[in-house]
């Protein structure tokens, strides 16, 4: 969809040099992972909770369509209009139509990565609907005309000072405001928009199949305003967000809140079941829910099914050493970091994001923290089989390496070449190796095998 | 009490030690022997196959795994001075043979008797303590990802280091962060790998250590080559087994 062909090598090369961004990313990533560690440590049965999460999610991803249908039926029964979108383009068309049918010209929006996935803002703006982001992070991003760089903390790459500068530039606030003053400035700006908006747009953290409710977490109260003030309400929700019963919700909420921001529960929790009913004073006249597939049913049937279990907590991003070294934009994908390196190629195409499964050291930190135990490193390793074409050299090397005599010769040759500084067959690898390091240095003296031989003869 | 029968161990040298670090192999043999272990070295051994496994060439990885099985299947136990190679043999081989239950079984047996040397000393030989090192240098420890999250060894190497070096052992800040090596990652994305390496080296410098120990020579190859590029030349990078040998034999190198 985006005109640029993603190139992680090039983007990451530039990203590691951007020390301002990296410092900002690390500061918040450290904060988030620290808070998560504390919250987890204070939850004695967290492992049991994780197991529950994984087991329950396996049941769900094993039968996505069943839960999607049951959610749709119950949401309709509660008065919502449910639309099914098979891909991003269809979701965008549906959203435009909902706005047009109701003469909606302005919209306020809560943070939603699913909306990013369908490029909803761009689509609506092109159709003449003005969309205002109301989550502080998203508000910042929108002012700066950027994309989110973290699925949970979209403006993680910007420091307070940079945000203050941006506000002065775009909103005319006094220079160098404190965090509190920045929040107040954004509030003031947004209040008017909330009151005037025709349409409220959100994602959905969970969709509850047995009640048809959309569950939304927030720490700023913006979601509450966006779901109650405007007359038309739209929620864009991936079918992977559906959980079977309201009774499942507290457990998933406990997993998500702890992993996302080290909280036991978010500051605000909205459970939206249908539009305003007769006699009620608040709520929209219409509630539309777009259930987005966009490859999810296909993924559920394949070998990477558990990526659909993802709660979008962002913990794997904040803990990933590669993400911390390059920031989110270097991935050039809606979903960056470990979960994104699995999900982005699966959704958008392996050929577009062939770099991402390789952009990982397989350090295993993500799997260690994931609240629903998505086997991210295993998936990234397996995806390499799908995206990499092993060069002939490596195939030949494998033949040599499992043939003891050839292997021994190879080792001797490698030692000699490295000692004498001759590159030979190793030239291409050494060229990249020496971007940031000297060539490996073999120890002087006899090889282990020679030592072993003399020694066993001596005995 | 019964005298325990002599333990027999086959050393898996690893290709890294084979090509670059003979001292790691020698130290492994001598440490094991000093505890009465009978060590043999099957000369037909090659490499565990990580370079293929981790670049997605499962077919070649299977060839490597089968060769490893052929060489080591009859061994009583297999010990390697490398967490990442042990992680490969233990956790990565058998999933390569889904749909071949008999073969998979043999790989699971292989997995259950393969150990990193420090792990073997702790879990199997049950060595509670090591003698003091004769010339302790200020030393820090890089707990590689595969040590921590691959074979699940936490605090064991650190304990041995404390026993050998006392106050000369200085823990590394941000110890569980990856050093940025990552096999093919190090040459596919050398700028990112280099950035992660710089951070790790920065923390090493902070400790004031002159020696860096680990259970993974691959991380250390990357870090030492980076340290040379950054002119941090005085640093000595060793496998823990080398320090153990020095402590056990009462002399340096
Ligand atoms: S994969 Fe796991 S850790 Fe990463 S965002 Fe999803 S739920 Fe969170």
Give, for A430, the enclosing helix (H) or strand (E).
Answer: helix A427-433
The predicted-structure confidence for A187-229, as pLDDT tens digits, reads as follows 999 999 999 999 999 999 999 999 999 999 999 889 988 898 9
> Within a domain: residue A389?
no
CB neighbours of A348 closer than 8 A, spacing ≥ 6?
A1, A333
Tell me the C-alpha distance between A182 and A179, whole Å.
5
> Looking at CA atoms only, how far is residue B6 from chain A in angstroms?
18
Q: Which ligand 1 atom is the nearest neighbour of the CA of A307? A: 1
Overall average pLDDT of the B146-164 stretch: 97
Instruction: List CB contacts of A228: < 8 A, sequence separation 6 or more.
Output: A200, A282, A283, A284
A241/A310 Cα distance (integer angstroms): 9
Q: Is A339 domain-assigned?
A: no
Mean pLDDT of B173-198: 96
pLDDT > 70: percent of chain B: 98
* C-alpha distances out from residue A227 to A197, A219, A250, A347, Å: 11, 15, 21, 29
CA pair distance A381, A360, nearest whole angstrom: 9
Which range is least confidently modeled, A455-459, B12-16, B80-84? A455-459
Same domain? A101 vs A234: yes
Q: Is A426 part of the contact surface with chain B (CB cutoff 8 Å)?
A: no
Res A1 pLDDT > 50: no
ipTM of the complex, rounded to two decimals: 0.95
pLDDT at residue A441 is higher than 80: yes
Task: Tell me what pLDDT residue A397 has.
Answer: 84
The chain A residue lying nearest B227, using CA atoms, is A437
Query: What is chain B's alpha carbon radius of gyration, rounded to the nearest angstrom?
Result: 18
Closest CA to A189 of A202, A161, A170: A170
CATH number at residue A212: 3.40.50.10420
**Contact between residue A447 and residue B22 where contact means Cβ atoms under 8 Å apart:** yes
CA of B188 to the centre of ligand 1 (A): 25
Mark whether A291 and A403 lie in a shared domain: no
Q: In sequence order, which residues have a C-beta less than 8 Å from that of residue A204 and are 6 or more positions away?
A: A112, A114, A214, A215, A216, A235, A236, A237, A241, A289
Q: Where are the alpha helices (DSSP H) in A78-178?
A: 88-101, 113-117, 120-126, 136-144, 160-171
| A141 vs A152: CA distance, rounded Å | 13
Shortest-distance Cα residue to atom 8 of ligand 1:
A313
For residue B86, give both structure tokens.
């042990």
**Whole-number mean pLDDT of chain B?**
95
Binning pLDDT at 50, 70 and 90, where does residue A239 land? very high
For the segment A321-347, the average pLDDT, to the nearest whole number, is: 98
State residue B135's pLDDT score: 96
Determine the pLDDT at residue B3.
Answer: 54
Rounded CA separation B234/B212 (Å):
11
pLDDT at position A420 is: 83
Residue that terminates a domain, selected from A228, A263, A298 = A298
Instruction: Determine if ligand 1 sits within 6 Å of the CB of residue A316.
Output: yes
Domain with A175, as residue range(s), is 8-298
Q: How far is B116 from chain A (nearest CA, A)?
A: 18
pLDDT at position B2 over 70: no
The pLDDT assigned to B1 comes to 47
**For chain A, what is the domain count?**
2
- Where does B8-124 sit in CATH, by number? 3.40.50
In chain A, residues 12-41 whose CB comes closer than 8 Å to chain B: 12-13, 16
Which of A298, A315, A339 terminates a domain? The answer is A298
* Chain B residue closest in CA terms to A18: B195
The model's pTM: 0.95
Q: Mean pLDDT throughout B47-59?
A: 93
For residue B104, give every residue at least 6 positions away whose Cβ sits within 8 Å of its Cβ, in sequence order, or none: B94, B97, B98
Name the residue with the closest Cα to ligand 1, atom 2: A370
pLDDT at A414: 87
Widest distance between CA atoms in chain B: 58
Q: Which of A268, A298, A328 is the last residue of a domain?
A: A298
Which of A264-268, B8-12, B42-46, B103-107 is the least confident region?
A: A264-268
Give the 3-state secondary structure of residue A228: helix
CA of A315 to the centre of ligand 1 (A): 6
A-to-B residue pairs, Cβ atoms closer than 8 angstroms: 192
* A398 pLDDT tier (thresholds 50, 70, 90): confident
Residue A442 lies in a domain: yes
How high is the mean pLDDT of chain A?
Answer: 94
Minimum CA distance residue for ligand 1 atom 4: A316
Q: Alpha-carbon distance B18 to A88, whole Å?
A: 53
C-alpha closest to that of A151 among A12, A350, A323: A323
A33 in ligand 1 pocket by Cβ < 6 Å?
A: no
A199: three-class secondary structure by DSSP: strand
- Going from the Cα of A257 to the center of ligand 1, the distance in angstroms, rounded, reads 12
Residue A252 has pLDDT above 80, yes or no: yes
Give A11 Cα–ligand 1 centroid separation in angstroms: 23
Q: Which residues of A touch B174 (CB under 8 A)?
A: none
Q: Which two tokens stand for residue B107?
A: 């790989």
Q: Which alpha helices (H) appear in A327-401, and where do they start and end?
A: 337-348, 365-369, 376-387, 392-401
Q: What is the pLDDT of residue A333?
A: 97
The pLDDT confidence band at residue A429, using thresholds 50, 70 and 90, is confident
Task: Please name every residue paired with A130 in a beta bridge, in sequence order, or none if there are none.
Answer: A106
| Ligand 1 mutation target, pool A370, A373, A376, most atoms within 8 A of CB | A370
Q: Strands A213-218, A206-208: parallel, antiparallel or unpaired by DSSP?
A: antiparallel
Residue A73's alpha-carbon distances to A78, A212, A243, A379, in angstroms, are: 9, 7, 14, 34
- Do A236 and A124 have their domain in common? yes
Hey, which residues does A238 pair with through a beta bridge? Answer: A292
**How far apart are the C-alpha atoms of A331 and A353, rounded to whole Å?**
9
- Angle between helix axes B101-112 and B58-72 (nearest 10 degrees) is 60
Distant-in-sequence, close-in-space partners of A95: CB < 8 Å, separation ≥ 6: A118, A120, A123, A124, A201, A234, A236, A290
**Three-class SS state of A218:** strand
Question: Span B64-73, mean pLDDT?
Answer: 97
DSSP A254-299: HHHHHHHHS-SS-SEEEEE-SSPPTT-SSS-SEEEEEEE-TTHHHH
Query: Would the pLDDT of B253 be above 80?
Result: no
Confidence (pLDDT) at A452: 96
Contact criterion met (CB below 8 Å) for B150 and B87: yes
Interface test with B, best of A329, A364, A386, A437 (most B CBs within 10 A): A437
Question: Average pLDDT for residues B146-174, to the nearest whole number?
Answer: 97
The pLDDT, as a whole number, for residue A255 is 98
Distance CA A211, CA A42 (A): 31
The best mutation among A317, A339, A364 to test binding of ligand 1, ranked by most ligand atoms within 8 Å of the C-beta, falls on A339
Average pLDDT over residues A104-121: 97
- Report the chain B residue with the minimal C-alpha distance to residue A384: B56
A270 CB near a chain B CB, below 8 Å?
A: no
CB contact under 8 A, B195 and A398: no
Q: What is the pLDDT of residues A45-75, one digit of tens each?
A: 999 999 999 999 999 999 999 999 999 999 9
Nearest to residue A355, comparing CAs of A117, A12, A14? A12
Q: Is A186 in the pocket of ligand 1 (CB under 6 A)?
A: no
Distances (CA, A) of A214 to A71, A208, A227, A457: 10, 6, 11, 76
Any domain includes A420: yes
Which residues lie closer than 8 Å to A91 by C-beta, 6 or more apart? Answer: A85, A118, A120, A236, A290, A292, A294
CA B92 to chain centre: 16
Measuring CA to CA, which residue among B126, B157, B122, B161 is closest to residue B143?
B157
- Compute the nearest-CA separation of A391 from chain B (Å): 10
Domain layout of chain B by residue ranges: 8-124, 139-249
pLDDT of residue B33: 97
Comparing CA positions, the residue from A302, A310, A294 lying closest to residue A375 is: A310
Order of strands, sheet of B38-40, starting from the edge strand that comes earlier in the sequence: B38-40, B8-11, B78-80, B114-116
- pLDDT tier, A130 (very low <50, low <70, confident <90, very high otherwise): very high
Dihedral through CA A188, CA A193, CA A196, CA A198, nearest 10? Answer: -150
Scanning the structure block, which residue is given the tokens 């050998």?
A: B164
pLDDT of B163 above 90:
yes
Any ligand 1 atom below 6 A from CB of A155: no
Q: What mean pLDDT do residues A384-406 have?
A: 86
- Cβ A315 under 6 angstroms from ligand 1: yes
- 3-state secondary structure labels for all residues of chain B: CCCCCCCEEEECCCHHHHHCCHHHHHHHHHHHHHCCCEEECCCCCCCCCHHHHCCCCHHHHHHHHHHHHHHHCCCCCEEECCHHHHHHHHHHCHHHHCCCHHHHHHHHHHHHCEEEHHHHHHHHCCCCCCCCCCCCCCEEEECCHHHHHHCCCCCHHHHHHHHHHHHHECCCCCCCCCCCCCCCHHHHCHHHHHHHHHHHHHHHHHHCCCEEEECCHHHHHHHHHHHHHCCCCCCEEEEHHHHHHHHHHCCCC
In angstroms, the CA B164 to CA B139 distance is 11
**Cα B240-B243-B248 angle, rounded to 5 deg:** 120
B19 and A442 in contact by Cβ < 8 A? Answer: yes
Do A425 and A276 lie in one domain? The reply is: no
Could you give the strand order of the β-sheet that contains A286-292, starting from the edge strand earlier in sequence?
Answer: A81-85, A286-292, A232-238, A199-202, A106-109, A130-133
Pick the closest to residue A151 from A90, A205, A199 (CA basis). Answer: A205
- A58 CA distance to ligand 1 middle (Å): 15
């Amino acid at each position: 969809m985006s005109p640029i062909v993603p190139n992680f090598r090039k983007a990451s090369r530039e990203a590691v040099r951007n020390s301002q961004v990296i410092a900002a990313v690390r500061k918040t990533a450290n904060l988030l992972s620290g808070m998560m560690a504390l919250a987890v440590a204070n939850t004695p049965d967290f492992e049991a909770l994780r197991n529950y999460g994984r087991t329950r999610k396996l049941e769900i991803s094993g039968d996505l369509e069943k839960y999607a249908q049951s959610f749709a039926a119950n949401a309709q029964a509660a008065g919502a209009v449910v639309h099914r979108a098979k891909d991003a383009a269809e979701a965008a068309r549906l959203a435009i139509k909902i706005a047009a049918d109701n003469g909606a010209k302005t919209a306020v929006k809560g943070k939603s990565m699913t909306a990013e996935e369908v490029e909803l803002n761009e689509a609506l703006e092109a159709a003449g609907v003005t969309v205002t982001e109301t989550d502080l992070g998203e508000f910042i991003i929108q002012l700066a005309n950027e994309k989110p760089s973290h699925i949970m903390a979209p403006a993680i790459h910007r420091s307070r000072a940079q945000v203050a500068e941006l506000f002065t530039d775009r909103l005319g606030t006094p220079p160098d405001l404190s965090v509190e003053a920045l929040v107040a400035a954004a509030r003031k700006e947004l209040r008017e928009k909330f009151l005037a908006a025709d349409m409220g747009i959100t994602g959905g953290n969970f969709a509850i199949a047995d009640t048809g409710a959309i569950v939304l977490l927030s720490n700023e109260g913006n979601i509450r305003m966006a779901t109650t003030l405007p007359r038309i309400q739209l929620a864009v929700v991936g079918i992977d967000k559906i959980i079977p019963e309201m009774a499942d919700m507290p457990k998933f909420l406990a997993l998500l809140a702890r992993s996302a921001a080290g909280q036991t529960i978010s500051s605000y929790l909205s459970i939206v079941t249908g539009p305003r009913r007769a006699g009620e004073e608040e709520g929209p006249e219409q509630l539309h829910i777009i259930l987005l597939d966009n490859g999810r049913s296909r993924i559920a049937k394949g070998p990477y099914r558990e990526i659909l279990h993802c709660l979008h907590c962002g913990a794997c991003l904040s803990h990933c050493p590669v993400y911390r070294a390059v920031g989110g934009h270097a991935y050039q994908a809606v979903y960056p970091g470990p979960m994104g390196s699995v999900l982005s190629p699966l959704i958008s195409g392996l050929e577009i994001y062939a770099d991402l499964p390789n952009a990982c050291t397989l350090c295993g930190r993500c799997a260690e923290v994931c609240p629903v135990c998505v086997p991210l490193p295993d998936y990234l390793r397996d995806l390499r089989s799908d995206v990499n074409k092993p060069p002939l050299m490596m195939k030949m090397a494998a033949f040599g390496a499992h043939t003891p005599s050839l292997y021994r010769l190879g080792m001797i040759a490698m030692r000699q070449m490295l000692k004498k500084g001759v590159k030979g067959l190793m030239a291409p690898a050494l060229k990249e190796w020496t971007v940031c390091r000297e060539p490996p240095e073999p120890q002087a003296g006899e090889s282990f095998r020679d030592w072993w031989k003399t020694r066993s003869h001596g005995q | 009490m019964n005298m325990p029968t002599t333990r027999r161990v086959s050393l898996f040298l690893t290709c890294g030690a084979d090509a670059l670090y003979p001292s790691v192999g020698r130290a492994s043999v001598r440490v094991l022997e000093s505890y009465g272990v009978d060590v043999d070295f099957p000369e037909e051994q090659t490499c565990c196959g990580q370079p293929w496994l981790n670049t997605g060439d499962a077919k070649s990885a299977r060839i490597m795994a089968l060769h490893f099985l052929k060489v080591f299947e009859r061994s009583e136990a297999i010990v390697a001075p490398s967490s990442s190679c042990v992680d490969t043999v233990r956790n990565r081989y058998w999933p390569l043979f889904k749909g071949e239950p008999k073969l998979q079984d043999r790989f699971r047996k292989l997995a259950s008797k393969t150990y990193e040397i420090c792990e073997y000393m702790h879990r199997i030989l049950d060595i509670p303590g090591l003698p003091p090192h004769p010339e302790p240098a200020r030393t820090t420890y890089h707990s590689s990802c595969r040590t921590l999250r691959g074979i699940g060894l936490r605090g064991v190497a650190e304990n041995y280091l404390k026993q050998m070096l006392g106050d000369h052992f200085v823990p590394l800040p941000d110890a569980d962060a990856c050093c940025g090596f990552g096999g093919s990652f190090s040459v596919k994305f050398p700028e990112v790998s280099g950035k992660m390496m710089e951070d790790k080296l920065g923390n090493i410098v902070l400790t004031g250590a002159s020696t860096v120990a680990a259970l993974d020579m691959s991380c250390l190859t990357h870090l030492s080559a980076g340290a040379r590029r950054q002119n941090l030349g005085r640093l000595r990078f060793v496998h823990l087994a080398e320090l153990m040998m020095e402590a056990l034999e009462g002399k340096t190198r």
